[in-house]
Amino acid sequence: METKFDMIVIGAGHAGCEAALAGARLGKKVLLTCLNLDSVAFLACNPSIGGTAKGHLVCEIDALGGEMGINADETSIQIRMLNEGKGPAVHSLRAQVDKIAYHCRMKKVLEENPSVFLKQAEVTEILVENEKVIGVKTALGESFFAGAVVVATGVYLKSRIIIGEFSQNIGPNGFASANGLTQSLLDLGFEIRRFKTGTPARINGRTIDFSKLAPQEGTDGISFSPLSKNPNKNVAICFETATNLKTHEIILKNLKRAPMFSGEIKGVGPRYCPSIEDKIVRFPNRERHQIFLEPEALSTNEIYVQGVSTSLPADVQNEMYASIEGLENAQIMRNAYAIEYDCINSQELSPSLESKKISGLFFAGQINGTSGYEEAAAQGLVAGINASLKLDGKSSLVLKRNEAYIGVLIDDLVTKGTNEPYRMMTSRAEFRLVLRQDNADSRLTEIGRKIGLVSDERYQLFKKKQEILEKMRKKLEILIKIDEKTKKFLKENQEPIPSGSIKAIDLLKRNNIDIYKLNETYDLFSEEETRFMDTINTEVKYSGYIKQQNDEIEKLKKQEEVSLVEVEDYFKIKGLRIEAQQKLNKIRPETLGQASRISGVSPADITVLSIYLKTRKK
């Protein structure tokens, strides 16, 4: 077998797959290694893609030319739009996917790509020469060489699962763990941390009494990607249930046997995705915690119990799950477990996700301290793009916080760092009103096209959509006469009647009128246009707020454009507080804007810095 590649990607999870595909689609020859090829794009936790903020990430990955959105659409068995009543900025797609189909389809896409070489192997060493990566070595003693390496090892580094008093050094779902690479990273000078996450039990659907439970069905006609050929077969139904006081009593009675509290688990767990024992201890007054029962795949009876992740012992798990309505006779097929794993300090990376120390070495996904498939895929895509750009000698892709959730995610990771598994949330995005799912393409597709990742097909669809939107905007400029029809329309909607005539757009701006009512009355839009009515509705209704947010972005732009690359030693800048000097020297921000977001760097420090830069220029 060939040993020379352009790029090597270690790990074929959600980050690794995107990294490898991005590299290959940008013309690089990519070796993609995976401990076990049956775990390619494996959904180790919930069988779903998307959710609040995560749906945004998937749309952005898709707009840039990534694979996750299409893969989720093609294998989805139910899809819904969350937060419909809470405003367009937080509308989030969430798809239940067939986890087996999801894995198979992604694996096939990789296999079919002539530039991707998918290989089962455990990488145990990263080969570096003169602070530049040159390749990797595997457990079998083989060496492979490349100018860029993306580390996307997920939760597999020295992973250990814990169920009550039981623990075992394996990865998720019984897959093997990777035990050699941590030492190699330590030898290269990386700080290694220990994080923890967990997953609930899988139950045989045959043993669940669904008749008592509220069903939850999907919505037709929505998808992540415009490229999906076969979107959303809404064939699966989820069910709602909840814990009760009896469940809580069982947990509290056995708390001392919970590894989280007995001290057995040392890794830091995610605050935003806590285990059930964690939730009960932290919210003692809650009488119930909501649970969703989600089918794992169409080809299996296994049901995922969302909301009840735990590391309690097996006997307690049996008792606890059986206390839940509908699960009285449930048979646990796979027990819930907690998993600990090694990861790095993401502050050691630059915004391109390349290591600051070792040239050509990129990191993406859970190794950087994140949680979630979508967060991983987003980083994988960016790492893959930047590895390729680096090989071509081009400057890297750094998305700004006002351009994409991906920008927020990576900026947070490299600037603020994280002390717990990092989950994307819409509240992390300060420019939330402009970072919507519905405009992900207009924010990012041109960028993806310029890089070379956006295919002709995707680009034409995008251009067509822009044309349609433009036509719709023009249609809203037409004058509507205040005739009997309009008077009736306004009266029905309790809106005052103006004199003379009024533009359609001004009617739409009225509080009680939306684009659906408007189109129903005046029949403005053609059938292909009606698909984008929500986008136009948002544009018009939120224009004032969007403008304000854009003004803020414009103001901050100035700071983002001030480069700090030439500052050599912050200890030499008088007036900076010592804490700020230390943090700045460690993180070495690329711009003044990035510096301002480092915790421990105060606004006063930023002023000192900008004054220093100004006086130095003179």
* DSSP-assigned beta bridge partners for residue 534: none
In whole angstroms, how close is the CB of 237 to another protein at the nearest point? Answer: 15
For residues 30 and 185, is the Cβ–Cβ distance under 8 A? Answer: no
- Work out whether 401 is an interface residue with another protein (CB under 8 A): no
Distance CA 148, CA 8 (A): 6
In whole angstroms, how close is the CB of 612 to another protein at the nearest point? Answer: 8
Residues in the chain: 618
- Work out whether 82 is an interface residue with another protein (CB under 8 A): yes
The nearer residue to another protein, 87 or 180, going by C-beta atoms, is 87
In whole angstroms, how close is the CB of 577 to another protein at the nearest point? Answer: 4
The nearer residue to another protein, 219 or 607, going by C-beta atoms, is 607
- Work out whether 3 is an interface residue with another protein (CB under 8 A): no
3-state secondary structure of 297: coil
The nearer residue to another protein, 292 or 489, going by C-beta atoms, is 292
- Work out whether 89 is an interface residue with another protein (CB under 8 A): yes
The nearer residue to another protein, 184 or 538, going by C-beta atoms, is 538
For residues 292 and 240, is the Cβ–Cβ distance under 8 A? Answer: yes
- Work out whether 27 is an interface residue with another protein (CB under 8 A): no
In whole angstroms, how close is the CB of 286 to another protein at the nearest point? Answer: 9
DSSP letters, 52-110, are TTHHHHHHHHHHHT-SHHHHHHHHEEEEEEETGGG-GGG-EEEEEE-HHHHHHHHHHHH
- DSSP class of 354: B
Q: Which of 195, 237, 194 is nearest to 218 (CA)?
A: 237
For residues 337 and 313, is the Cβ–Cβ distance under 8 A? Answer: no
3-state secondary structure of 47: coil
Among 53, 332, 339, 409, binds another protein (CB under 8 A): 53
Q: Which stretch binds another protein (CB under 8 A): 109-117, 400-408, 478-486, 545-553?
A: 545-553
**Chain position carrying tokens 């494996």:** 42
Q: Which stretch binds another protein (CB under 8 A): 80-88, 180-188, 297-305, 398-406?
A: 80-88
The nearer residue to another protein, 82 or 553, going by C-beta atoms, is 82
Distance CA 248, CA 566 (A): 57
The nearer residue to another protein, 51 or 66, going by C-beta atoms, is 51
Region of 193 on the Ramachandran plot (φ > 0 left; ψ -120 to 50 alpha; else beta) = beta
The nearer residue to another protein, 234 or 318, going by C-beta atoms, is 234
Q: Name which of residues 552 to 581 contact another protein (CB under 8 A).
A: 574-575, 577-578, 580
In whole angstroms, how close is the CB of 510 to another protein at the nearest point? Answer: 10
By rule CB under 8 A, what count of residues binds another protein? 43
The nearer residue to another protein, 74 or 294, going by C-beta atoms, is 294
Distance CA 134, CA 150 (A): 12
- Work out whether 141 is an interface residue with another protein (CB under 8 A): no
- Work out whether 604 is an interface residue with another protein (CB under 8 A): yes
Say if strands 302-306 and 290-295 run parallel, antiparallel, or are unpaired: antiparallel
In the numeric block, which tokens belong to residue 46? Answer: 């919930």
- Work out whether 511 is an interface residue with another protein (CB under 8 A): yes
For residues 243 and 365, is the Cβ–Cβ distance under 8 A? Answer: no
Q: Which residues contact 24 (CB under 8 A, 6 or more apart)?
A: 30, 113, 114, 115, 116
DSSP letters, 479-547, are EEE--HHHHHHHHHTT-PPPSSEEEHHHHHTSTT--HHHHHHHH----HHHHTTHHHHHHHHHTHHHHH
- Work out whether 87 is an interface residue with another protein (CB under 8 A): yes
The nearer residue to another protein, 344 or 409, going by C-beta atoms, is 409
Among 50, 88, 231, 448, binds another protein (CB under 8 A): 88
- Work out whether 215 is an interface residue with another protein (CB under 8 A): no
The nearer residue to another protein, 36 or 83, going by C-beta atoms, is 83
Distance CA 445, CA 370 (A): 25
For residues 41 and 13, is the Cβ–Cβ distance under 8 A? Answer: yes
- Work out whether 607 is an interface residue with another protein (CB under 8 A): yes
The neighbour count for residue 11, using CB atoms within 10 Å, is: 32
- Work out whether 307 is an interface residue with another protein (CB under 8 A): yes
Among 224, 292, 422, 525, binds another protein (CB under 8 A): 292
Q: Name which of residues 410 to 469 contact another protein (CB under 8 A).
A: 425-427, 430, 432-433
In whole angstroms, how close is the CB of 242 to another protein at the nearest point? Answer: 8
- Work out whether 85 is an interface residue with another protein (CB under 8 A): yes
* DSSP-assigned beta bridge partners for residue 123: 138
Residues that bind another protein (CB under 8 A): 51-53, 82-83, 85-90, 92, 288-290, 292, 307, 425-427, 430, 432-433, 511, 542, 545, 548-549, 574-575, 577-578, 580, 602-608, 610-612
